[in-house]
Chains A and B, each alone.
Chain A
Amino acid sequence: MSRIGVFVCHCGENISRTVDVERVAKEAGDIPGVAFSCDYKYMCSDPGQNLLKKAVADNNLDGVLVAACSPRMHEKTFRKAASAAGLNPYLCEMGNIREHCSWVHEDREEATAKASDIVKLMVERVKKGKSLAPITVPVTKKALVIGGGIAGIQAALDIADAGHQVVMVEREPSIGGHMAQLSETFPTLDCSQCIMTPKMVDVANHPNITLYTFAEIEKVEGYIGNFQVTVRKKARSVDESKCTGCGVCMTKCPKKKIPNEFDQGHGMRTAIYVPFPQAVPNTPVIDRQNCTMFQSGKCGVCQKVCGPGAVDFEQQDTLIVEPVGAIVVATGFKLYSIERQPEDSPIQGYGEFGYGTIPDIIDGMTFERLASASGPTGGKILRPSDGKEPKQVVFIQCVGSRAREKGISYCSKVCCMYTAKHTMLYHHKVHDGQAYVFYMDARTPGKGYDEFWRRAVEEEEAVYIRGMVSRMYQRGDKIVVMGSDTLVGVQVEIEADLVVMATAVQAQDGADLLAQKLGISYDKYNFYSEAHAKLKPVECATAGIYLAGACQGPKDIPDTVSQASAAAAKVMTLFAKDQLERDPVVAKVNEKYCVGCLACKKVCPYGAVEEREIRDRQGNLVKVVASVNPGVCGGCGTCQATCPSKSVELDGYTDEQIMAMIEAL
C-alpha cells in the first residue's frame, strides 16, 4: 500500500477563490493509499516547501502530489523539494488545478468537483510511478547561432569571448542583417553602420567563430547538449579560399542593371556582387538567376578577369555536419508589404494605398536607404519616380500593424520611434521641407525615447496628425493623401511629394519551416514562442534552444542586444557543466516479451531503437530484440503505442499509470 501525501495549494486566492481547497484536501485524504493531505496558502513558498519536506519525513511518505499550478510552472520546484526530503523526484507529481481549473471555471461547485477529480487521477499516477534516475550525457561545448544580424552577432561574440566555439549560419551572402541597412539609429542618431560594421568584422576575425554565409539549416537532430546540425552551404560560384575581395569581377560584369536588394531595389548591382561595400565576408556571390553565363552559357567575363582564379561556375551546394550543444535562433524579421495578397492569405494588402503601384509611396526601410550616406542617392532625400527633392513628405504609422482587418493585430513597437527619427533626418537634410505624420498613438517607452519624440514634434517641426489615412492616389506628380484629424474632428487632404509608410514587422520568411526543423513552437504570426512570457523569455520550450531578437516578436536594437546577450549567458551556463542531467523519460524494452518485429524501430523519430542479438553461452542466436539507446531517445512514446506485444514502455508514462488514471475517472 502506498503512502502518498497530497498538498493542495491556495495560490493566494488564485485557486481558493473558485475551488474549495479544504474540501479537496479532505476528499484526497479518503483516497486509498493517501496517508497525508493538507492545504496551504502558498505551497511554492519557502514555508510551503518546508511543510512538504516535514510531512514526507513525519509520515514516511513514498509519493507526493502537489495540487497547484501547471507542472510547466513549478514541477521542478517541488521535485527538488521532494528530492531534498529524500524522495525520488519522479515520485512527485503536480495536479494542475489553477490553469486547468480555478482560472477557467467560475462555478465553485463544479470547479471543486473537477479539482477533486484531478487530484484523484494524479494520485493514481503517483501510486504507479517508479523511481527514476536522471540520465547524464556529455555536453558538446560548441554553439550554433542562426542568423547574422545584430542579435546573432551579439550572441556569437559573447559566447566566443567566453572561450567557446561558435558556428554562425547566415542565409544572405553577408552578415549584418537589417541593422546594416539603417542610416541612423534612435534615440541618439548615431550612424548605424559605424557601430555595426566593427562588430561584423569582429565576427569574421574571431578565432572561435566559424562563419557560414549564404548557407541555411538543412536538418537538426539530437537534443540539448548533443545536437547534430546539417548546414547547406549554397553554391556561391566563388571559391572563398582563393578570393581576395579585389572586386575586379564586379566592375567587369556586363549585367549591371539588377535591382539591389540591400537598397530595397532602388540601387543597381551586377550579377556577381557583394550586397554592400562593407559586406562580411567581402567575397562576391553569383546571382545565378541573373547571370548570363548560367542562363545562356556565354560570358564568363568574371572568370577571365579574376586573378586568383576564384570564380568557379561548377561549384555545388555542400552539406556540412556540425555537432553543437546549444542553438541560438536569431533569424530576425521582414517588413510587411502593402502589395496585393492572395484571397486566402490571412494577411491582406492595402488596396486603398494602391497595392504598392505608386512609386513615391515607399516603406520605412527604403527611406533609411535614401537617408544613408552609402545608399543609392548618396544620402540625399530624392524621391524614386523622378529624383526630385520632396518638399512635402507624409509619414504614415501603423500600416499593417494594429490593423485587425488586414490580419495583424499586434503593435510593431519600433515604428513610432523610427518615424520620429525619419522626420528629423528629413528636416536636417531638406530645410525647407515639411513632414506630416499620421499616427494612432505615439508609443515611446524606453530610455530617452519620449524626449526624442518630443524633440521631433517641438523642435524639428514635424506636424503630427492623430488619425489614419483612408486613401491615397496619384494626381499629376503629387500623391493625394486623404485622412482625418480625429483630435480636431476634420477631414484632412495633403498633396505630398513622397509618402513613407511605417509598415508592420513580420516574422522572417520561412520562420515556420525552420521552427519545424528545430522542433520549437511559434504563434500564428510565425514568431517563435518563448517557454514562459515572463520568467523564461529567452528559452524555448525545447531544451537547449534559445531566442534572440525580432524572431520572437518586434524589438528595437537595445532590446535585441540585451536578449542576445541573455541568450549567450544561457548558453554559457549550459556549457559550464561537462555532464548534463536529462529527464529520464525514455523508453525501455522488456526483452522477455519482445518478439523482435521492430515496428518500434520504424516509427522512432530519433533512430534510438537498435537491434540486439541475444545469444546463449555457445554463441547460438536465441533471438533478436529491440533495444533503446537512452541517450538518443527523446521520450515521445510512439514506440509504446505501436508495439503489438506491449513490450516497450516509456518511463513516467507507463500503460499501468495511464490505465490507473483512466480507471479513476
Chain B
Amino acid sequence: MHAEKLQHDFEPKIVAFVCTWCTYAGADLAGTSRMQYPANVRVLKFPCTGRIDPVFILRAFQKGADGVLVSGCHPGDCHYMAGNFHARRRFAAFRALLGFVGVDLERLQFSWVSAAEGGKWVEVVTELTEKVRAMGPMKEFKALEDEEQWSGALNTPELREAFESIT
C-alpha cells in the first residue's frame, strides 16, 4: 500500500516558524488525521507570528535552512487579536529587503493555516519542500557563517590573511 519512496539527490532542510494557536494545532490535526508529508520540515513553536523576529529567519538560513516557512492564523483570527497583522506588515517589508540583497524569495514562504486546516498544512509543507528541493541548497548565507561580524566578503588576500590571523 505504501508508495515506492523516491530517492532524491538533495534533501532540503525546511524550518517552519508557526504560531501555537492556529498552525501548530493545524499540524497536530494533520497528525491526528494520519496525513503524510515530507519529513524535511522542523517546526519551531511561537505563541504568535507577531513574536517572530526577522532575525530568526536570517539565522535559520545561516544555520543551514534551505527554506523557511512562517505560518500563523488567518487575518482576523489571531488569538491575540492583532499579532498576525503586525507580522504581516513586518514580513512584507522584510521580504522586500531579502529580495533586494539577492535572496531567492521562493525559499521563504508565508502562509495562513488555521487549526482546522490539517490538509492545508500538508499542502503548504509539501509544496515548499518540493520547490526548494528543485532549487538545490541555499549557499549564500552559509558562506557568511564563516565571516560573521564582517561587513564584506573576504575577496582580497589581505583581508583573508587578516581574518585567518584572528580566528
- Residue numbers of A with Cβ under 8 A of B are 70-72, 96, 98-101, 103-107, 110-111, 113-114, 117-118, 121, 512, 515-516, 519, 521-524, 529, 541-542, 585, 603, 605-606, 634-638, 640-642, 650, 653, 655, 658-659, 661-663, 665
Chain B min CB distance to A191 (Å): 38
Q: What is the 8 Å Cβ interface bit string for chain B, positions 113-124, against chain A (1 contact, 0 not)?
A: 011110000100
11 pairs from A and B in contact (CB 8 Å cutoff)? A99-B28, A104-B36, A118-B43, A516-B76, A519-B78, A521-B114, A605-B80, A642-B86, A659-B56, A662-B56, A662-B59
Chain B min CB distance to A564 (Å): 23
CA distance A659 to B35 in the complex (A): 30
Q: Are B56 and A99 within 8 A (Cβ)? A: no
Chain A min CB distance to B106 (Å): 20
Chain B min CB distance to A406 (Å): 20
> Which residues of B sit under 8 angstroms from A114, Cβ to Cβ?
39, 42
> Which residues of A sit under 8 angstroms from B96, Cβ to Cβ?
none
> Which residues of A sit under 8 angstroms from B21, Cβ to Cβ?
521, 541
- Residue numbers of B with Cβ under 8 A of A are 2, 5, 13, 15, 21-22, 24-25, 27-28, 30-32, 34-37, 39, 42-48, 50-53, 56, 59-60, 63-65, 73, 76-83, 86-87, 90, 114-117, 122
The winner among B31, B46, B63 for most chain A CB atoms within 10 A is B31
Q: Are A637 and B76 within 8 A (Cβ)? A: no
Instruction: Return the contact of A636 from the options B13, B51, B77 (Cβ within 8 A).
Output: B51
> Which residues of A sit under 8 angstroms from B73, Cβ to Cβ?
521
CA distance A516 to B81 in the complex (A): 8
Known: A519-B81, A521-B116, A605-B81; 16 extra A-B contacts, CB below 8 A, are A70-B31, A96-B43, A100-B31, A104-B34, A104-B37, A106-B2, A107-B5, A521-B25, A636-B80, A637-B48, A638-B87, A641-B90, A653-B47, A655-B53, A662-B44, A663-B63
Q: Are A100 and B43 within 8 A (Cβ)? A: yes
Q: How many Cβ-Cβ contacts under 8 Å join chain A to chain B?
A: 150
CA distance A113 to B40 in the complex (A): 10
> Which residues of B sit under 8 angstroms from A523, Cβ to Cβ?
114, 116
> Which residues of B sit under 8 angstroms from A111, Cβ to Cβ?
39
Q: Are B65 and A72 within 8 A (Cβ)? A: no
CA distance A96 to B60 in the complex (A): 20
Chain A min CB distance to B73 (Å): 8
Chain A min CB distance to B12 (Å): 12
Q: Are A662 and B51 within 8 A (Cβ)? A: no
Instruction: Return the contact of A541 from the options B25, B44, B63 (Cβ within 8 A).
Output: B25
Which residue of the partner chain A has the closest CB to B11? A110
Known contacts being A114-B39, A542-B79, is A658 close to B31, with CB within 8 Å? no
> Which residues of A sit under 8 angstroms from B27, Cβ to Cβ?
99-100
Chain A min CB distance to B137 (Å): 14
Chain A min CB distance to B115 (Å): 5
> Which residues of A sit under 8 angstroms from B77, Cβ to Cβ?
515-516, 521-522
Which residue of the partner chain B has the closest CB to A652? B47
Q: Are A70 and B51 within 8 A (Cβ)? A: no
CA distance A661 to B2 in the complex (A): 33
The winner among A99, A114, A118, A529 for most chain B CB atoms within 10 A is A99
Which residue of the partner chain B has the closest CB to A520? B79
The winner among B2, B13, B82, B122 for most chain A CB atoms within 10 A is B82
CA distance A650 to B46 in the complex (A): 11
Q: Are B82 and A113 within 8 A (Cβ)? A: no
Which residue of the partner chain A has the closest CB to B114? A521
> Which residues of A sit under 8 angstroms from B48, Cβ to Cβ?
636-638
> Which residues of B sit under 8 angstroms from A110, Cβ to Cβ?
39
CA distance A480 to B2 in the complex (A): 50
Known contacts being A521-B22, A638-B51, is A113 close to B39, with CB within 8 Å? yes
Nearest first, the 5 A-B pairs at minimum CB distance are: A99-B31, A637-B51, A638-B50, A636-B80, A523-B116
Chain A min CB distance to B66 (Å): 11
> Which residues of B sit under 8 angstroms from A665, Cβ to Cβ?
13, 15, 42, 60, 63-65
CA distance A638 to B86 in the complex (A): 7
The winner among A110, A637, A641 for most chain B CB atoms within 10 A is A641
Which residue of the partner chain B has the closest CB to A646? B53
Instruction: Return the contact of A641 from the options B2, B53, B78, B79 (Cβ within 8 A).
Output: B53
> Which residues of B sit under 8 angstroms from A121, Cβ to Cβ?
42, 44
> Which residues of B sit under 8 angstroms from A72, Cβ to Cβ?
24-25, 28
Known contacts being A529-B115, A637-B50, is A103 close to B25, with CB within 8 Å? no
Q: Are B42 and A118 within 8 A (Cβ)? A: yes
Q: Are A521 and B115 within 8 A (Cβ)? A: yes
Q: Are B59 and A659 within 8 A (Cβ)? A: yes
> Which residues of B sit under 8 angstroms from A636, Cβ to Cβ?
47-48, 50-51, 79-80, 83
Q: Are A70 and B28 within 8 A (Cβ)? A: yes
> Which residues of A sit under 8 angstroms from B60, Cβ to Cβ?
662, 665
Chain B min CB distance to A93 (Å): 10
Chain A min CB distance to B37 (Å): 6
CA distance A524 to B114 in the complex (A): 9
CA distance A72 to B26 in the complex (A): 12
Chain B min CB distance to A466 (Å): 30
> Which residues of B sit under 8 angstroms from A106, Cβ to Cβ?
2, 5, 36
Q: Are B63 and A662 within 8 A (Cβ)? A: yes
> Which residues of B sit under 8 angstroms from A98, Cβ to Cβ?
31
CA distance A616 to B53 in the complex (A): 34
Which residue of the partner chain B has the closest CB to A585? B47
> Which residues of A sit under 8 angstroms from B42, Cβ to Cβ?
114, 117-118, 121, 665
Q: Are B116 and A522 within 8 A (Cβ)? A: yes
Which residue of the partner chain A has the closest CB to B52? A641
CA distance A606 to B51 in the complex (A): 15
The winner among B35, B59, B64 for most chain A CB atoms within 10 A is B59
> Which residues of B sit under 8 angstroms from A641, Cβ to Cβ?
50-53, 86-87, 90
CA distance A103 to B35 in the complex (A): 7
> Which residues of A sit under 8 angstroms from B81, Cβ to Cβ?
519, 605-606
> Which residues of B sit under 8 angstroms from A521, Cβ to Cβ?
21-22, 25, 73, 77, 79, 114-116
Known contacts being A106-B2, A636-B47, A665-B42, is A99 close to B32, with CB within 8 Å? yes
CA distance A524 to B115 in the complex (A): 10
Known contacts being A104-B35, A521-B21, A653-B46, is A658 close to B28, with CB within 8 Å? no
Instruction: Return the contact of B83 from the options A100, A113, A638, A653 (Cβ within 8 A).
Output: A638
CA distance A637 to B47 in the complex (A): 7
CA distance A114 to B25 in the complex (A): 19
Chain B min CB distance to A659 (Å): 6
The winner among A72, A117, A585, A650 for most chain B CB atoms within 10 A is A72
CA distance A523 to B29 in the complex (A): 12
CA distance A107 to B3 in the complex (A): 11
Which residue of the partner chain B has the closest CB to A112? B39
